[in-house]
Amino acid sequence: MRITNEQNDIESVLFSEKKISARVEELGAELTKLYKDKAPIMVCILKGASFFYTDLCRQIKCPIHMDFISVSSYGADSQSSGVVRLIKDLDNNITDRDVVIVEDIIDSGLTIRYLKELFQSRKPRSIRTVCLLDKVECHPADIGTDLKGFDIGNQFVVGYGLDYADNYRNLPYIGVLKPECYM
Ligand code: IMP
Ligand code: MG
């Protein structure tokens, strides 16, 4: 277990708590407009999206249902393994439902593409994706996300749910990890 002060491993803060919460409020307002009277199933991709998901759901001012799915593409690495594994499936049947996939970050786009294909096969009424962060340079434009919080460059970030080897998730802000911490 890490016993160092995790704050010391952060090179710079990209998004402060205040900035994140203001943007999450805006995204919540957009979703409220889109899903009024639809009771969408909000799907949290564990574990990285957990803080974003709970904050976002509280900003949606209409009825929703909550569900959780767990996939893994990174393992204990800072590079995607290129293979997505399903670890825990949804509890709900999504056939004929409006589904909103909530993801922490889109990098190669593999995870979001995998989940969209998996969910499409279950015949939902609609699917949208919401990602807090988008590494726009790292994936083809056609694998983008429908709604997003912020664009970022090709850098490894942690905090607000995002981890490196399961560390740093509970930092309240999003920061760039010092390269020596993952090399
Ligand atoms: P993708 O499948 O390559 O788009 O990777 C998406 C997943 O990789 C996310 O759900 C994150 O868990 C993880 N990931 C990608 N980039 C980062 C990062 O900068 N920091 C922490 N996790 C990341
Ligand atoms: Mg992760």
Average pLDDT over residues 161-165: 95
Q: Which residues line ligand 1 (CB under 6 A)?
A: 48, 73-74, 80, 103-111, 156-158, 162-163
pLDDT over 80 (residue 124): yes
| Closest ligand to Cα 75 | 2
| Of 9, 55, 107, 163, catalytic | 107
> Which pLDDT score is estimated for 76?
55
The question of whether 107 is a catalytic residue gets the answer yes
Evaluate whether 179 touches 160 at the Cβ level (below 8 Å).
no
> Which pLDDT score is estimated for 83?
83
> Which pLDDT score is estimated for 79?
65
Average pLDDT over residues 15-34: 98
Residue-wise pLDDT for 134-148, tens only, equals: 999 999 988 899 999
The minimum-distance atom of ligand 1 relative to the CA of 155 is 19
Residue-wise pLDDT for 47-73, tens only, equals: 999 999 999 999 999 999 999 999 987
β strands within the chain, DSSP E? 10-15, 41-46, 65-72, 85-88, 98-106, 126-135, 147-152, 157-158, 174-177
3-state secondary structure of 122: coil
Distance (angstroms) between ligand 2 centre and the Cα of 164 equals 7
> Which pLDDT score is estimated for 3?
54
Distance (angstroms) between ligand 1 centre and the Cα of 41 equals 23
